Amino acid sequence: MPGRLQGKKVAILITDGFEQVEMTEPRKALQDEGAETVIVSPKDGSVKGWQHTDWGDEFPVDRPLSGARADDFDALLLPGGVMNPDHLRQEAVEFVRDFFQAHKPVAAICHGPWMLAEAGVVEGRRVTSFPSIQTDLKNAGADWVDQEVVTDHGLVTSRKPDDIPAFNRKMVEEFAEGRHDRQRA
C-alpha cells in the first residue's frame, strides 16, 4: 500500500551544525510514508550533523540552495541545532518565506523556528520551539506555547528531540494534506 506522502517532494534545509537526530528521524518518517526527501543547503558537497555535544555524520547535499525554489517542492522541513538556523538565516530567508507565500506546509523543530522569525512568518501564529528562543519568536509576533507539538494552518513546530515522535506524526499529517489556503505569508 502506498504511503500517505507518495509523490510528494520535501526540501530539508540544513547546513553544518544541524541537530542530526532532528533531521534523520523526521527524514525517515517522511521516506517511510513515500516522500522523496531532498537535502538543500547553501553549502556545496556535504553537511555535517551535530550530535548533542559533538560533531556527527556527514550527509551529501542533494541540491544547492542557489538552485532550489519552493515551487520545486511540496513541503519544507527545518531541523534545529543552534548553529544550523543561525547560519541559514543569513542566506535562506527568501527560500523559507516562499513556502509560506505558496501556502505549502512547513515543519520546524527545536531551534528551527528561528528561521521562521527571521523570515517574518510567525506573526499571529501559535508555535513552540526550544525554550531559549521563545523571546525571539514572541518578539516576532508569535503566540509561543510550551507544548510537545503545535500545529497552526500547515505549520508544525516542536521543542526538542524528545518530541520527535509527536512531531513526525503531525508533520506527516500536515504534509499529506498539502497546501493550506489559510496558511498566512
Annotated catalytic sites, by residue? 110-111
d(CA 80, CA 93): 15
**Secondary structure of 145-182 in the HEC alphabet?**
CCCCEEEECCEEEECCHHHHHHHHHHHHHHHHHCCCCC
For residue 163 the three cell numbers come to 518530541
d(CA 16, CA 98): 23
56 in helix, strand or coil? strand
How far is CA 90 from each of CA 2, 30, 62, 86, rounded to the nearest angstrom?
A: 38, 27, 20, 7
Q: Cα(first)–Cα(last) distance of the chain, in Å?
A: 35
Q: 10 Å Cβ neighbour count for 170?
A: 18
